[in-house]
């Protein structure tokens, strides 16, 4: 499909891409103030209280918590603070939330807080539910030493972290939200988008009024959570695991395993981002859930093409852009514009002249009305030294768009340097200048030609 005439020419836009790739900032400069990966640093706080000072014991709570901490380490969390039994006192938890985490966690960091212990729900003055967590030295039913959801909400507001995920192995609610927001991978162009968007999310083991089921002193919720974080929750098998996927998986699995006695609840508390738990290959982020119908495959092809163009335009991975183009053509082998872009990428960005030629020929076949199909094929033939074919392709581009200024300049260079036809070179450069071209070479060639044609005044006697 021909690009809208209101936009800059395809070649001009791609030249801008090449400038950003080849002549822009160095990688170190480009990353200034940005994480090298998706996060600068990943923080975990794992709280497990088994032997309460004033409350009933929860056998296996510490073992469960240590298993979660181990998984976080495997997922690449550099800092995991583990607080067990008396280390999880009311004073220590408050100090962690009020002082330690706000000082340590940065704005490009990821934070996961896990809690296994007693929890409860009280009522606010207005009659709304208010959930709370019970520290080691507190009692259920007494919120004086508890960590309330209001305090957690205040902490999340003060925290610089873009992504915060709370994991509570307890049946608790009471953070004011309108409704559970089930995020979906559909419509996202890249994981980076989710990294840049604020996200505060919570996954609780059970709903209000339910009990968290334990089998042989092990939490069904935690066992499912560990399996999910090991990759089982990546249902679309695209290599990425998001908190929203985690929530959906754990909800279904725990409900099935407990015969609907326990229903974990996932809630988007703040923002519209999504915590990334497992980072896969970026090019595979949108490839999960293969399209089936012809319409779905065409839509998927268009999506991959647009993302490839966006990645090139922003100076991101050229390899991933090429992979997206190949995926687009796998979905729709007749996608002419994708062949055009691939032919240029293989000509200039990731040079492979044979692949460029093959893609260029298919671009002309499937997008014959797009002047860029012929123009790019002409550039490929020129580079291969096939000048007659290059001239023919460039003339075909002008047949599709007689005012394509860049093509006239390329023709002028072809005639002047390769085909040694000065007359045609001048004609092409003249037309280039008439259409608004400003390159100094065109001006010089035309000026020299006119000077040579101007009769010299007779010499004075």
Structure tokens at 4: 């809208």
At 222 the pLDDT is: 95
Per 3-state DSSP, what percentage of the chain is helix, strand, and coil (rounded to 5)? 50, 15, 35
d(CA 383, CA 108): 45
Q: In which element (H, E) is residue 113 found?
A: strand 110-116
Q: Choose the most confident range, by mean pLDDT, from 93-97, 152-156, 311-315, 317-321.
A: 93-97
Q: Please state which architecture CATH assigns to domain 10-28+290-402.
A: Alpha Horseshoe (1.25)
Residues with Cβ within 8 Å of residue 328, at least 6 apart in sequence: 300, 301, 302, 303, 304, 305, 308, 335, 338
At 381 the pLDDT is: 95
CB contact at 8 A, 132 and 124 = no
Average pLDDT over residues 365-384: 94
Q: State the Cα angle at 340 between 338 and 345, rounded to 5°.
A: 90
At 156 the pLDDT is: 87
Residue 21 has pLDDT above 60, yes or no: no
d(CA 261, CA 381): 69
Structure tokens at 357: 């030629």
Q: Which of 275-289, 331-345, 408-422, 437-451 has the lowest mean pLDDT?
A: 275-289
DSSP output for 401-455: -TT-HHHHHHHHHIIIIIS--HHHHHHHHHHHHHTT---HHHHHHHHHHHHHHSP
Percent residues over pLDDT 70 in the chain: 82
Query: Which has the closest alpha carbon to 212: 325, 337, 147, 118?
Result: 118
Cα torsion angle, 82, 83, 85, 86, sign: positive
At 81 the pLDDT is: 96
Kindly report whether the global pTM for this prediction surpasses the value 0.75: no
Average pLDDT over the chain, rounded to an integer = 82
Residue 391 has pLDDT above 90, yes or no: yes
Q: In which element (H, E) is residue 80 found?
A: strand 79-84
Q: Which of 137-141, 175-179, 422-426 has the lowest mean pLDDT?
A: 175-179
Residue 225 has pLDDT above 60, yes or no: yes
d(CA 193, CA 199): 12
Polymer length of the chain: 461
Query: Which has the closest alpha carbon to 289: 300, 280, 281?
Result: 300
CB contact at 8 A, 394 and 407 = yes
CATH class of segment(s) 38-278: alpha beta
At 297 the pLDDT is: 86
Map out the domains of the chain as residue ranges.
10-28+290-402, 38-278
Cα torsion angle, 165, 196, 36, 105, sign: negative
Q: What is the DSSP letter of 213?
A: -
């Amino acid at each position: 499909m021909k690009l809208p005439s209101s936009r800059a020419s395809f070649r001009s836009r791609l030249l801008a891409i090449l400038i950003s790739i080849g002549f822009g900032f160095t990688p170190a400069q480009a990353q200034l103030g940005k994480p090298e990966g998706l996060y600068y640093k990943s923080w975990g706080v794992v709280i497990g209280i088994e032997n309460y000072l004033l409350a009933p014991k929860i056998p296996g709570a510490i073992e469960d918590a240590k298993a979660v901490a181990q998984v976080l380490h495997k997922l690449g969390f550099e800092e995991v603070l583990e607080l067990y039994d008396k280390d999880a006192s009311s004073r220590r938890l408050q100090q962690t939330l009020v002082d330690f985490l706000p000082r340590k966690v940065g704005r490009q960091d990821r934070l996961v807080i896990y809690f296994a212990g007693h929890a409860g729900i009280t009522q606010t003055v207005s009659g709304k539910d208010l959930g709370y967590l019970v520290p080691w030295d507190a009692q259920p039913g007494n919120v004086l030493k508890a960590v309330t959801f209001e305090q957690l909400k205040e902490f999340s507001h003060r925290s610089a972290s873009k992504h915060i995920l709370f994991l509570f192995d307890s049946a608790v609610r009471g953070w004011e939200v309108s409704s559970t927001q089930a995020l979906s991978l559909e419509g996202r162009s890249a994981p980076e988008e989710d990294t840049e968007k604020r996200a505060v999310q919570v996954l609780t083991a059970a709903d209000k009024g339910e009990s968290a089921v334990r089998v042989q002193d092990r939490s069904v919720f935690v066992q499912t959570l560990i399996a999910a974080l090991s990759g089982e929750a990546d249902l679309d098998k695209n290599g990425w695991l998001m908190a929203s996927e985690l929530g959906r998986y754990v909800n279904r699995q725990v409900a099935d395993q407990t015969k609907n006695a326990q229903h974990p609840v996932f809630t988007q508390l703040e923002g519209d981002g999504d915590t990334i738990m497992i980072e896969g290959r970026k090019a595979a982020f949108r490839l999960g859930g293969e399209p089936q119908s012809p319409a779905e495959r065409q839509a998927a092809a268009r999506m991959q093409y647009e993302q490839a163009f966006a990645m090139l335009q922003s100076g991101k991975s050229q390899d991933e852009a090429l992979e997206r183009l190949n995926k687009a053509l796998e979905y729709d082998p007749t996608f002419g514009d994708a062949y055009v872009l691939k032919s240029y990428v293989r000509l200039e960005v990731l040079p492979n002249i044979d692949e460029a030629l093959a893609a260029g020929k298919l671009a002309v076949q499937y997008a014959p009305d797009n002047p860029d199909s012929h123009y790019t094929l002409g550039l490929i033939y020129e580079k291969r030294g096939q000048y007659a074919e290059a001239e023919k392709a460039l003339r075909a581009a002008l047949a599709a768009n007689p005012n394509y200024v860049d093509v006239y300049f390329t023709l002028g260079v072809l005639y002047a340097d390769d085909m040694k036809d000065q007359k045609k070179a001048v004609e092409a450069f003249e037309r280039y200048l008439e259409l608004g071209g400003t390159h100094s070479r065109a001006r010089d060639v035309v000026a020299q030609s006119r000077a040579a044609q101007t009769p010299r005044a007779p010499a004075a006697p």
